[in-house]
């Protein structure tokens, strides 16, 4: 059985967080250490540890993550000027919490990643 993460506790509302969106598939909440004026994490409500663990059965969940990202970008009024979506995978990719998650970053001009 997969280990519970801090994100699981946020999803289950065991830890207080600024949740912007939640449905049966995904939860979106503000990052507590933002790297941009708008920094939201969008996570599946089930534990998928990283991109390498994604299966065909997760297709609807991953699609919902993108739909929610676009919805929140519009809600936060960053959809017109633009934003960045990032999913990190494992240590060299910069993944810190082993529960797949999408970063939605915006609210200022973001420089190059590399």
Q: How many C-beta atoms surround the C-beta of residue 49 within 10 A?
A: 17
Give yes or no for a contact between 73 and 83, defined as CB atoms under 8 angstroms apart: yes
E strands within 70-110? 83-86, 102-106
To the query of whether residue 98 is one of the catalytic residues in this protein, the response is: no
Catalytic residue (choose from 92, 98, 99, 101): 101
* Enclosing H/E stretch for 43: strand 38-44
Q: Which residues are catalytic?
A: 101
């Amino acid at each position: 059985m997969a280990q519970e993460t801090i994100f699981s506790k946020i999803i289950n509302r065991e830890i207080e967080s600024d949740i912007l969106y939640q449905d049966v598939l995904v939860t979106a909440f503000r990052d507590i250490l933002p790297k941009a004026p708008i920094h939201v994490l969008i996570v599946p409500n089930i534990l998928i540890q990283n991109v390498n663990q994604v299966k065909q059965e997760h297709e609807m969940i991953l699609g919902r993550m993108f739909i929610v990202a676009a919805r929140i970008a519009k809600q936060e009024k960053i959809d017109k000027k633009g934003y960045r979506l990032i999913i990190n995978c494992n240590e060299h990719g910069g993944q810190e919490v082993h529960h797949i998650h999408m970063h939605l970053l915006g609210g200022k001009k973001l420089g190059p990643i590399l």
